[in-house]
């Protein structure tokens, strides 16, 4: 998927598909936002339960095409992820972001997420 290549350019297409198939066995889903019939933003997600946070939606990957940034697509997809997590009875949404991704950190904070040790989380209840 061209959108995911922007976030994970080091993964070849055959390996990317093989990894997705393996992750799907553990509940992983790949979702995308379409604009004019083409993907402009994507997220890889899983629902997890652990002792620290209960049941939560974990966002493995979240990316918008570079040429489509600042058009609201990332915010739309993140809102959809929050709504989906609520529908799935999750208590929270979590994601991690590389320390060098300062623009992403500003985006997450602007969208109401809290930075906790460079781990971003928002309560859904």
Query: How many other β-carbons are positioned within 10 Å of the β-carbon of residue 107?
Result: 20
66 phi and psi angles, rounded to 5 deg: -55, -40
CATH classification at residue 90: 3.40.630.30
pLDDT in tens, 4-22: 888 888 999 889 989 999 9
Question: How confident is the model at residue 5, as a pLDDT?
Answer: 84
pTM for this predicted structure = 0.87
Residues of the chain with pLDDT under 70: 1, 117-119
DSSP label at residue 68: G
**HSE on the CB side for 52, CA within 13 Å?**
4
Number of domains in the chain: 1
Bridge partners, residue 61, by sequence: 44
Domain of 106, in residue numbers? 2-123
Comparing CA positions, the residue from 78, 76, 106 lying closest to residue 93 is 78
Pairing of strands 92-96, 54-64: parallel
């Amino acid at each position: 998927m061209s959108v995911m290549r922007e976030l994970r350019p080091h993964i070849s297409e055959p390996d990317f598909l093989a990894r997705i198939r393996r992750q799907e066995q553990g509940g992983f889903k790949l979702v995308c936002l379409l604009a004019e019939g083409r993907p402009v933003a994507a997220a890889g997600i899983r629902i997890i339960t652990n002792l620290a946070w209960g049941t939560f939606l974990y966002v493995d990957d979240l990316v918008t095409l570079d040429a489509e940034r600042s058009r609201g697509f990332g915010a739309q997809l993140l809102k959809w992820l929050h709504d989906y997590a609520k529908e799935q009875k999750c208590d929270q949404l979590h994601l991690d972001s590389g320390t060098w991704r300062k623009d992403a950190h500003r985006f997450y904070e602007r969208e109401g997420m809290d930075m906790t040790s460079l781990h971003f989380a928002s309560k859904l209840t």
